[in-house]
Structure 1
């Protein structure tokens, strides 16, 4: 399928979903919805993130989930795949950690993400995690493929195929 065909198909699918939405929610005000093309403050995420997060958390070990930390990083990263951490306290809070051990817990999860290869960190004014490089999670999951439940990989593979993601093809 060429680019023009893909565009035509996408427009038809959008129109069909919009028509169905209007039938299912006839009183809906469109201004009550979030439209990424009309509002600032959005980021692009893989549609497979729920699967990716399950795998990441399993790789991190029981009781030490890293997906909320990774999501917080992802929501701050731009197309260069790098972010500048201004405050570890803010990052810890965004990741869901509070209290006296918030930053310590966040740093432990960051260390795990780095050890697993999902991120790389460099020291700077904000400490050991001042600059973060975020790698393609599909590539990292492929490296760890034999370290987590096969059913999770198969589910990720199926969803990736469904949404047209080709990053898992070896």
Structure 2
């Protein structure tokens, strides 16, 4: 598939969505909508994120870390890196409050490191000052044997639906 045909396919999907939206909401005031091309404060997030968050929550059992992972994605740029100067802010954004908010957040961050979704380096603000986010599709493949087959299939189906060409195991370099 060429770049031109990919662009055409995307524009067809956008045209279809626009036509359906116009049919459902013919008198819509566009000023009420979020348009990433007209405002700042957006990031790119995989469309598979809801399923990935569910997988994370399942793998971390009674200590769900999906919201912690989502907060990291909402703060990162294309370098897949973030510097956390105030971990209590991220703890709050992930929904942790009270006296144990910070320790709960750190526990969830440790889980994300253990699962392989992130790596972290210590810095002035503590253990998780510098954070690197790995491609979640590649991480999920490494965890495939720990994920319920139906859930993995759900993620795979969504990846196929959105033509996520990166949803495959990480290729190991030839020796």
TM superposition score normalised by structure 2: 0.92
CA distance in 2 between counterparts of 1:32 and 1:99 reads: 35
* Residue 23 of structure 1: how far off its partner (Å): 1.6
- In the other structure, the counterpart of 2:94 is 95
CA distance in 2, matches of 1:114, 1:20: 42
Answer 1 or 2: higher relative contact order, Cα 8 Å, separation at least 6.
1
List aligned pairs for 1:2-151, cutoff 5 A: 2-61=2-61, 63-151=62-150
Return the alpha-carbon distance in structure 2 between the equivalents of residues 144 and 101 of structure 1.
Answer: 29
Deviations 1:68-124, CA, capped at 9 Å, x for gaps: 000001111111111000101101001110000000000000011111111111111
Match of 2:154 in 1: 155
The number of aligned residues is: 169
Q: Tell me if the contact between 2:137 and 2:168 (Cα under 8 Å) persists in the aligned partners.
A: no
For structure 2, which runs of at least 5 residues remain unmatched after alignment?
A: 170-175
Is there any run of 5+ residues in structure 1 with no aligned partner, and where?
A: none
SS in 2 for 1:100: coil
Distance in 1 separating the partners of 2:114 and 2:29: 47
Cα root mean square deviation, aligned = 1.1
Give the stretch that moved more between structures: 16-25 or 26-35: 16-25
SS of equivalent to 1:75: helix
User: What residue in structure 2 maps to residue 166 of structure 1?
Assistant: 165
Distance 2:24 2:108 in 1: 42
Q: TM-score, normalised by structure 1?
A: 0.95
